Amino acid sequence: MHLSTLRRVLGRLALTAALGLTAAGLGTAASTAPAAAEATLQQVTGFGSNPGNLAMYAYTPTGLPAGAPLVVAMHGCTQSASDYFTHSGWQKYADLWGFAVVFPQTNSANNSSSCFSWFDAGKDTRGKGEAASVIQMVNTAEAGYGSDAHRVFVTGLSAGGGMTANLLADYPDVFAGGAVDSGLPAQCATTLTAASGCQQNNQNLTPAQWGDKVRSSNPGYTGPWPRVAIWQGSADYTVYPVNGTELRDQWTNVWGIGQSASSTQNLTGGTTLSVYDDSAGRPAVELYSISGMGHGLAVNAGSGTDQCGSAGAYFLSSICSSYYTARFWGLDAPAGGGTGGGTGLPAPTGLGVTGTTDTTVSLSWSAVTGAASYDVYRNGSRAGSTTATGYTDSGLATATAYGYTVVAVDSAGSAGAASAAVTATTTGYVPQCYTASNYAQVTAGRAHQSGGTAYANGSGQTMGLWNTFVTHTLKQTSPGYYVIADGGC
């Protein structure tokens, strides 16, 4: 058989096994986690109305303090939460750097190959289906583990990567960052029949057209946007390499930056890292292209800090993607940012909010002896640097809460410990109330329905039957977030 023909045949077989877009049963079964690993991964029930019919599993290191970050990790097709927990390496860094990990799990009732429905507009859009179920998991984790709502991240492989991109577009107000591994651009396909075209073909869209798919997923939202890592194998014949380029185009456009890399770097495993900085010189989008790698999540078994995971079905030995993703998000830093206090410089004290507008937050703090400058962190990512003891952060979203810390930096560029965090909320948003039938609330986009029951968007509160006879008052407490307020507004 000619090599090109063989690749097409193998590509179709891999497509069946990895993304579940044709009949089930043709793919290789995913591996099963050892009993020891199973004991550390706990199922969480009763996490909400669960309109997407998903299961929630979570891993929390022993002694995890309140205020730690939260990572959502989504498996690929024919896999389970247990598989992803066992092979991906996220447990290692949760233990090492101290954060919780939620592993959503879909099932064959949702999709014959247990794929997340990244191609179904009724399941992968804001307030609907599987996307809404994942947000309910995030809300449950924040309440149960005391997770830092400003440092919530999402990652996923293949179909889980496609759903990750959709979640970042649907909920940029929830996720500070994401990583799409061998996945698809946000809202590339909105039907099952269009999915294979997205996986295998260039869609011939401009960066602005790709960016519009993100912006239209949450109309009216203007930022800040999640920082996005993209992982793509050059020999992937299931989700073709063009998807990595399209993801790069999409998220650089959302950030308002160009498609020319600010810097490039060669990493282990034949990996080329291209970094795209925002206007402040901080990495906003990173593209990791792995030469010769097929369809799967990049892992690199070993005991080194930058080694993780284990090989298995769709877990491919190359480079530890979870390590580089976690560092990109700043999970290796202490709470709120910083680099660990290796200089001995103490944490700045007296951090406070001195003023807010609809797009800015002004801060001040006490001077630290020996500091040459100060790094300011917003929601765990570096927002800027100053030699003064005050800073104004600009370009923010209206009526949005942000968490800030400050780190002192010495003349050699080494950072000390992070300050205590403060929260500031920009002005400009006035809560509004709407009284209408459940049918009208759904039609107006303030609620959604699943199985004939209406749910408030954002909060997911149950409103009763989706019809014109049941009436509720919904209060919009923040953009896109509604709660039932029948007792008064």
pLDDT tens-digit series, residues 338-380: 433 344 688 899 999 999 998 899 999 999 998 999 989 887 7
Percent of the chain whose pLDDT exceeds 90: 65
Output the pLDDT for position 27: 28
Residues in the chain: 489
Crossing angle between the packed helical segments 3-19 and 192-200, to the nearest 10 degrees: 140
Angle at 170 between CA 169 and CA 174, to 5 degrees: 95
Largest interatomic CA distance in the chain: 72
pLDDT tens-digit series, residues 297-314: 999 999 998 999 999 999
Does the pLDDT of residue 11 top 90, yes or no? no
What mean pLDDT is predicted for residues 390-411?
Answer: 86
Output the pLDDT for position 138: 97
Q: Is 158 a catalytic residue?
A: yes
Residue 422: phi and psi, rounded to 5, are -130, 155
- 3-state SS, one letter per residue, for 28-65: CCCCCCCHHHHHHCEEECCCCCCCCCCEEEEECCCCCC
Q: Where in the chain is the domain with CATH 2.60.40.10?
A: 352-425
Rounded to a whole number, what is the distance in angstroms from the first to the last CA of the chain?
A: 70
Among all chains, which residue has been given the structure tokens 């290692």? 92
What mean pLDDT is predicted for residues 131-159?
Answer: 95
Among all chains, which residue has been given the structure tokens 């919904």? 474
Does the pLDDT of residue 260 top 90, yes or no? yes
Q: What is the distance, to the nearest Å, from the Cα of residue 394 to the centroid of all Cα atoms in its chain? A: 23
Does the pLDDT of residue 93 top 50, yes or no? yes
Q: Which fold has domain 3-328?
A: Rossmann fold (3.40.50)
Does the pLDDT of residue 6 top 50, yes or no? no
What mean pLDDT is predicted for residues 209-219?
Answer: 95
What mean pLDDT is predicted for residues 242-260?
Answer: 96
Output the pLDDT for position 334: 54
What mean pLDDT is predicted for residues 48-57?
Answer: 96
Lowest average pLDDT, out of 141-150, 276-285, 474-483, goes to 474-483
Task: Give the C-alpha distances (Å, rounded to integers) separating 344 from 349, 413, 417.
Answer: 15, 13, 8
Mean pLDDT (the chain) is: 86
Gap between the Cα atoms of 489 and 475, Å rounded: 7
Which long-range contacts (C-beta less than 8 Å, at least 24 apart) are formed by 58-62? 58/100, 58/101, 58/102, 58/103, 58/141, 58/145, 59/85, 59/90, 59/91, 59/94, 59/100, 59/101, 59/103, 60/94, 60/100, 60/101, 60/145, 61/94, 61/95, 61/98, 61/99, 61/100
Residue 426 near residue 358 (C-beta atoms within 8 A): yes
Sign of CA dihedral 306, 163, 188, 221: negative
Closest CA to 473 of 449, 448, 452, 447: 447
In the chain, the amino acid numbered 250 is Q
Lowest average pLDDT, out of 43-52, 280-289, 408-417, goes to 408-417
Q: Which of 158, 217, 318, 322 is catalytic?
A: 158
Output the pLDDT for position 30: 34
Crossing angle between the packed helical segments 159-170 and 129-145, to the nearest 10 degrees: 80
The token pair at 461 is 């509160």
Q: Where in the chain is the domain with CATH 3.40.50.1820?
A: 3-328
Closest CA to 329 of 396, 379, 280: 379
What mean pLDDT is predicted for residues 98-118?
Answer: 95
Output the pLDDT for position 235: 95
For the ranges 99-103, 396-400, 416-420, the maximum mean pLDDT occurs at 99-103
Q: What is the DSSP letter of 150?
A: T
Output the pLDDT for position 280: 81
Say whether pTM exceeds 0.75.
no
CATH number of 352-425: 2.60.40.10
Confidence of residue 294 (pLDDT cuts 50, 70, 90): very high
Strand partners, 267: 271
Cβ partners under 8 Å of residue 388, min gap 6: 374
Closest CA to 286 of 264, 302, 306, 308: 264
Output the pLDDT for position 402: 84
Sign of CA dihedral 353, 150, 141, 328: negative
Bridge pairing between strands 283-290 and 227-233: parallel
